[in-house]
Amino acid sequence: MSCCGVIIMPYENPAPAAPRQPFQLTGGMVAAMLILFFGVIVSVNATILTMALRTMPGVETRSAYEASQRFNEEIARQHERDARGWSASTTLARQSEGATLTVTLADRSGGPLVGLAASARLRHPATSARDHDLALSESRPGRYEAGFKTIEAGSWILELQARRGEEVVFVSRSRVTLER
């Protein structure tokens, strides 16, 4: 103790720290970094590819060859249909969770086309899993309707077909949008 009541403790000098060795990059470290880097790249690509194929497999037709054989016949039939001058106007309107599709078919002079068996297919642009096939019923002359219980909002491709007996007399393909 000192004269003023202060305790004096002995001071010991700590041992000097061992000198640090400089960082050395070894071949094993480089190999591990390359394996880790490319492992991450491959796993991310595999995940993205799997998700893409599950949502859109890319198959539009079962047999492209058979579809190509009917192509010229279909073009000739479409020219016959176009010569008739028939037209269609469509409305896709939201009703709670579902929607109603209304199609009005008219001849060249604007008169209603009656007595046809109309069907429609609403195709989702990204995946065929969300497609809807509908049989339209004639609610009044020239006006054909069908309802959906549930349908997602967004842009759809409407493929419309009208038959008289077994003959396809009208085909239309257009874009429709359903609001939320």
The structural domains of the chain, with segments of one domain joined by +, span: 85-178
CA 80 to CA 162: how far, in whole Å?
A: 14
- The Cα 14–Cα 115 span in angstroms is 104
What is the pLDDT at residue 10? 75
**Residue 32, pLDDT score:** 97
Ranges of the chain with pLDDT below 50: none
Distance from C-alpha of 42 to C-alpha of 50, rounded to nearest angstrom? 12
Give residue 58's pLDDT: 66
pLDDT at residue 29, as a whole number: 95
**Yes or no: is domain 85-178 CATH 3.30.1600.10?**
no
Exposure class string for 75-110: b at 16+ Cβ within 10 A, else e: eeeeeeeeeeebebebebeeeeeebebbbbbbeeee
Q: For residue 60, what pLDDT is reported?
A: 66
Structure tokens that stand for 73 in this block: 């016949």
pLDDT at 45: 97
Cβ atoms of 102 and 91 closer than 8 Å: yes
User: Residue 8: what pLDDT?
Assistant: 74
pTM comes to: 0.59
| Residue 131 burial (CB count, 10 A) | 13
Instruction: Establish how many alpha carbons lie within 13 A of residue 130's alpha carbon, considering only the half-sphere containing its beta carbon.
Output: 16
pLDDT of residue 68: 81
